[in-house]
């Protein structure tokens, strides 16, 4: 494997390095660096980035294609998001952290997909590996900082909104990928549009055998037993333009899969060589939109249904685990343009989750929440934009709670804006924190998490070819919920409230168009997390922080029929009680070639230097969640 991979890597590197360093401007257009791009997620309505008082990162469909990404987790890992990953998308989980906080709201077209009950996901409660094909993604908007006053309790650290593609024209394409460890992915996409009606259908099949990792103790590449996965997904999106700014959309999503449940290498308590997990998800989203003076008015109803069965196999005396989750929700929001420089955003939300986990003694547990929110927005003289908003949540288990948000944005000139925001945080405990699960003891006495965050930032463009984004934050959270091992084997855990948690940090990103063909992005993120236990006198650094200092560098080439990219990411300052090394550096390489108008070939190499590292750590259990060793894939995409 290593000899073959080495030859392939050398060939790809040679091809990339031989690409010309410059190109004529008329052959390849410059990348866009304007601050006038509109974003939706930060304010729930379309606003110019130059008027948005938040740090927002946008990943486009073109960037996803040229980056050779096959999973949402990979896309986010190349941005200012810290991804808490395991393996190679096989055995399970990918959670996310923004500003050192895993209380992150994840949306698909504005529909919340965070779960109330799931194993090993952190507070995000989203498995990014179980999202449908990246071929469906139009853009991803990432908002750093609290948005609880607009979106509710899961948005304490930030918001990630995955916006799916509408049909653009009559087209059908198929893509085939093959790579390491028996990887074989097949995707069929067909779409059409006529007389204001559009449809887009995507069917995808993914298969992969047990992945390999590099053992940090021996330096040898070994197989992670029982880490295979099979996954099939089907999505349908229908859109109908009704005229006068009105539209109706239907989004249907089906996913089913089976994966080995090895979880950890042999010799660890969570190594199960014969266990496996099956997944079945069916989601439905109906959205009606209408316009009023440029506002984005929405009425949405949705239903998410998920079934998870974990069959523990013959290697353990633990019972099989069965879980069903049913989520039904409705949302309404409307913008009232009350004057040339004054608008009011208003909305109502209702959401109910029903959990059945018979193995854990949980039967028809309901968690529901209803909310109302208002936010005023003023465009003031001197290019100031100010917002002030309030949200009231009524939770069936914890009663009512209000949260507020105030922001101010100043456009210093057409190329620069600076902002400050303050937002309150409120997060009720999840179902597994309250009721427990097979290896974690629930705590019905848990209190909701409360606190606030202050963010200060600056965006500026230089010479039409470079963009700098900078933000700093400070947050304080009371009654933060954490978990503790209750035995020396780290087999069983218990949830409890901390007395307090403090976070502070910064994020800086710089993008430069070196020439019409070459582009570079560099970034650095710092996050310090301090906890104080109940009754304790002092704070201590959170050992699970997987990115106290985070670094990223991307060099991209795009000219004529070629595109290529080199991505470097790393971290330092990690706690050696939770991780095998205080720092790591990983390189990924991708290249693509447009053979003709209908055929594209591409390849990608992960972990180019074959490093041993992990992105998930627990104090006392370091090295049990190894990331994949060097691996690669080749792909072809054909338009029929």
Tell me what pLDDT residue 147 has. 80
Q: Rounded to an integer, what distance in angstroms lies between the CA atom of residue 140 and that of residue 62?
A: 11
Tell me what pLDDT residue 52 has. 85
Cβ atoms < 10 Å from Cβ of 434: 21
CB-based contacts of 182, cutoff 8 Å, min separation 6: 207, 208, 209
CB-based contacts of 129, cutoff 8 Å, min separation 6: 71, 73, 89, 92, 93, 94
Tell me what pLDDT residue 5 has. 43
Distance of CA 609 to the CA centre of its chain: 25
Q: Which of these ranges, 267-281, 372-386, 470-484, has the smallest mean pLDDT?
A: 267-281
Cβ atoms < 10 Å from Cβ of 548: 21
Q: Rounded to an integer, what distance in angstroms lies between the CA atom of residue 51 and that of residue 418?
A: 9
Q: Which of these ranges, 26-35, 307-316, 459-468, has the smallest mean pLDDT?
A: 26-35
Tell me what pLDDT residue 315 has. 66
Q: Which residue has the higher pLDDT, 434 or 23?
A: 434
For residue 438, what pLDDT band results from cuts at 50, 70 and 90? low
Tell me what pLDDT residue 150 has. 84
3-state secondary structure of 435: helix
Query: Does the pLDDT of residue 277 top 70, yes or no?
Result: yes
Is the pTM higher than 0.75?
Answer: yes
pLDDT in tens, 49-62: 888 888 888 999 88
Q: How far apart are the first and last CA of the chain?
A: 34
For residue 489, what pLDDT band results from cuts at 50, 70 and 90? low
Burial grade of 566 (CB within 10 A; 0-12, 13-18, 19 or more): buried
β-partners of residue 399 are 395
Tell me what pLDDT residue 69 has. 85
Query: Does the pLDDT of residue 464 top 50, yes or no?
Result: yes
Buried b (16+ CB within 10 A) or exposed e, 140-153: bbbbbbbbbbbbbb
Tell me what pLDDT residue 19 has. 40
Q: Which of these ranges, 19-28, 303-312, 467-476, has the smallest mean pLDDT?
A: 19-28
pLDDT in tens, 280-325: 999 999 999 997 544 579 999 999 999 988 887 766 667 788 889 9
Q: Which of these ranges, 94-103, 347-356, 400-409, has the smallest mean pLDDT?
A: 94-103
Q: Rounded to an integer, what distance in angstroms lies between the CA atom of residue 235 and that of residue 247?
A: 20
Question: What tokens appear for 62 in the block?
Answer: 């073109």
For residue 92, what pLDDT band results from cuts at 50, 70 and 90? low
The Cβ-side half-sphere exposure at 465, using a 13 Å CA radius, reads 13
Query: Does the pLDDT of residue 469 top 80, yes or no?
Result: yes
Q: Rounded to an integer, what distance in angstroms lies between the CA atom of residue 311 and that of residue 309?
A: 6
Query: Does the pLDDT of residue 104 top 60, yes or no?
Result: yes
For residue 89, what pLDDT band results from cuts at 50, 70 and 90? low
E strands within 428-517? 440-441, 449-462, 466-478, 481-485, 493-497, 500-513
Q: Rounded to an integer, what distance in angstroms lies between the CA atom of residue 603 and that of residue 589?
A: 8
Q: Which of these ranges, 317-326, 508-517, 557-566, has the smallest mean pLDDT?
A: 317-326
Tell me what pLDDT residue 2 has. 45
Look-up: residue for tokens 């590996």? 129
* Percent residues over pLDDT 70 in the chain: 90
Structural domains present in the chain: 2-320+330-639 (2.40.170.20)
Q: Give phi and psi for 518, each to the nearest 5.
A: -115, 140
pLDDT in tens, 201-235: 999 999 999 999 999 999 999 999 998 989 999 99
For residue 4, what pLDDT band results from cuts at 50, 70 and 90? very low
Q: Which of these ranges, 99-108, 472-481, 545-554, has the smallest mean pLDDT?
A: 99-108
3-state secondary structure 502-548: EEEEEEEEEEEECCCCEEEEEEEEEEEEEEECCCCCCCEECCCCCCC
Query: Does the pLDDT of residue 342 top 60, yes or no?
Result: yes
pLDDT in tens, 119-143: 555 677 787 777 778 899 999 999 8
Q: Rounded to an integer, what distance in angstroms lies between the CA atom of residue 629 and that of residue 220?
A: 10
Q: Rounded to an integer, what distance in angstroms lies between the CA atom of residue 74 and that of residue 88?
A: 10
Tell me what pLDDT residue 510 has. 94
Tell me what pLDDT residue 563 has. 94
- Report whether 355 contacts 311 (CB < 8 A): no
Query: Does the pLDDT of residue 154 top 80, yes or no?
Result: no
Task: Give the chain's mean pLDDT.
Answer: 86
Q: Give phi and psi for 284, each to the nearest 5.
A: -135, 135
Q: Rounded to an integer, what distance in angstroms lies between the CA atom of residue 142 and that of residue 77?
A: 12
DSSP 51: G
Q: Give phi and psi for 6, each to the nearest 5.
A: -60, -40
Mean pLDDT value of segment 593-617: 94
């Amino acid at each position: 494997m290593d000899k073959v991979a080495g030859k392939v890597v050398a060939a790809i590197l040679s091809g990339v390095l031989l690409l010309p360093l410059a190109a004529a401007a008329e052959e390849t257009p410059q990348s866009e660096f304007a601050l006038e791009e509109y974003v939706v997620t930060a304010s729930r309505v379309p606003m110019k980035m130059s008027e948005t008082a938040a740090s927002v990162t946008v990943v486009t469909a073109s960037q996803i294609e040229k980056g050779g990404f096959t999973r949402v987790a990979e896309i986010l890992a190349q941005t200012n998001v810290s991804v808490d990953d395991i393996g190679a998308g096989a055995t399970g989980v990918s959670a996310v952290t923004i500003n050192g906080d895993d209380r992150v709201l994840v949306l698909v077209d504005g529909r919340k997909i965070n779960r109330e009950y799931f194993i090993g996901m952190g507070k995000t409660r989203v498995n990014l590996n179980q999202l449908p094909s990246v071929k469906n993604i139009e853009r991803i908007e990432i908002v750093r900082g609290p948005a609880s006053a607009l979106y509710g309790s899961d948005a304490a650290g930030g918001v990630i909104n995955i916006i799916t593609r509408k049909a653009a024209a009559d087209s059908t394409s198929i893509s085939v990928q093959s790579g390491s460890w028996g990887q074989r992915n097949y995707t069929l996409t067909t779409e059409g549009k006529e007389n204001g009606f559009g449809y887009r259908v995507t069917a995808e099949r993914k298969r992969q055998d047990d992945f390999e990792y590099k053992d940090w103790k021996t330096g040898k590449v070994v197989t992670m037993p029982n880490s295979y996965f099979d996954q099939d997904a089907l999505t349908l999106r229908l859109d109908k333009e009704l005229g006068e700014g009105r539209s109706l959309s239907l989004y249907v999503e089906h996913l089913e899969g089976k994966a080995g449940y090895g979880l950890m290498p042999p010799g660890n308590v969570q190594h199960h060589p014969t266990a496996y997990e099956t997944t079945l998800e069916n989601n439905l989203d109906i959205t009606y939109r209408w316009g009023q003076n440029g506002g984005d008015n929405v009425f949405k109803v949705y239903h998410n249904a998920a079934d998870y069965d974990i069959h523990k196999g013959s290697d353990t005396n633990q019972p099989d685990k069965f879980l069903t989750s049913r989520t039904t929700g409705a949302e309404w929001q409307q913008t009232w343009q009350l004057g040339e420089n004054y608008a009011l955003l208003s909305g109502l939300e209702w959401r109910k989750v029903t959990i059945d986990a018979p193995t854990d003694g949980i039967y028809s547990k309901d968690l529901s929440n209803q909310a109302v929110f208002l936010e005023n927005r003023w465009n003031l003289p001197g290019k100031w934009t100010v917002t002030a908003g309030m949200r009231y949540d009524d939770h069936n288990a914890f009663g009512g709670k209000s949260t507020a948000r105030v922001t101010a944005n100043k456009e210093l000139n057409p190329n620069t804006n600076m902002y400050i925001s303050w937002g309150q945080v409120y997060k009720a405990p999840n179902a597994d924190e309250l009721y427990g699960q097979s290896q974690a003891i629930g705590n019905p006495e848990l209190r909701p998490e409360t606190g606030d965050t202050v963010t200060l930032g600056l965006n500026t463009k230089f010479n039409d070819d470079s963009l700098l984004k900078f933000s700093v934050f400070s947050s304080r959270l009371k009654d933060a919920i954490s978990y503790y091992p209750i035995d020396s084997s780290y087999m069983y855990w218990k949830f409890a409230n901390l007395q307090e948690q403090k976070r502070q940090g910064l994020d800086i990103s710089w993008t430069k168009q070196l020439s019409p063909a070459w582009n570079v992005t560099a970034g650095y993120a710092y996050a310090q997390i301090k906890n104080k236990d109940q009754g304790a006198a002092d704070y201590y650094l959170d050992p699970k922080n997987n990115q106290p200092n985070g670094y990223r560098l991307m060099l991209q080439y795009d000219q004529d029929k070629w595109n290529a990219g080199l991505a470097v990411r790393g971290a330092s300052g990690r706690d050696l009680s939770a991780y095998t090394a205080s720092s790591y550096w990983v390189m990924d390489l991708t290249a693509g070639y447009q053979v003709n108008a209908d055929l594209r070939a591409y390849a990608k190499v992960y972990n180019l230097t074959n490093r041993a590292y992990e992105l998930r750590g627990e104090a006392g259990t370091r090295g049990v969640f190894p990331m994949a060793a060097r691996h690669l894939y080749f792909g072809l995409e054909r338009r029929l």
